[in-house]
C-alpha cells in the first residue's frame, strides 16, 4: 500500500463505518488516494484505543476524523 493512503479503523455491523467506506471510495475515485481498512476486533490494543470512536480515519499517521466522516474535510487534507 502506498504511504499516501488513508487508514480506516472499523468493525463489522457498523453503519457509520459503512458510510465512511463509501466516502473513502468516492475520494479514491476522485483523487486516486486509496485506503486500507483495519478491523479493530483483530487487535486488543486497537479495540481499547478506538472502540468508542470508530470509524476512525488516519492520514500520514495522524487521526484526522472519527465518527461521521466528512468528504470535503478529507479532500482539504489532500490539498495540503
What is the predicted pLDDT for the residue at 79? 85
Domain-wise residue ranges, the chain: 6-79
Interatomic CA distance for residues 16 and 54, integer angstroms: 8
- The CATH architecture to which 6-79 belongs is 3-Layer(aba) Sandwich (3.40)
Q: Pinpoint the alpha helices (H) of the chain.
A: 15-31, 44-50, 71-79
Q: What is the mean pLDDT of the chain?
A: 93
- Give the distance, in angstroms, between the CA of residue 63 and the centroid of all CA atoms in the same chain: 9
Question: What would the pLDDT profile of 21-49 be if each residue is shown by its tens digit?
Answer: 999 999 999 999 999 999 999 999 999 99
Beta strands 6-10 and 35-39: pairing type?
Answer: parallel
Write down the pTM of the prediction.
Answer: 0.92
Arithmetic mean of pLDDT, 15-19? 97
- Helices 15-31 and 71-79, packing angle to 10 deg: 40
Amino acid at each position: 500500500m502506498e504511504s499516501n493512503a488513508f487508514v480506516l479503523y472499523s468493525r463489522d455491523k457498523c453503519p457509520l463505518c459503512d458510510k465512511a467506506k463509501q466516502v473513502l471510495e468516492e475520494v479514491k475515485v476522485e483523487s486516486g488516494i486509496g485506503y486500507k481498512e483495519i478491523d479493530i476486533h483483530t487487535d486488543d490494543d486497537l479495540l481499547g484505543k478506538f472502540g468508542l470512536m470508530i470509524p476512525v480515519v488516519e492520514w500520514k499517521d495522524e487521526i484526522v476524523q472519527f465518527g461521521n466522516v466528512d468528504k470535503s474535510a478529507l479532500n482539504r487534507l489532500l490539498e495540503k
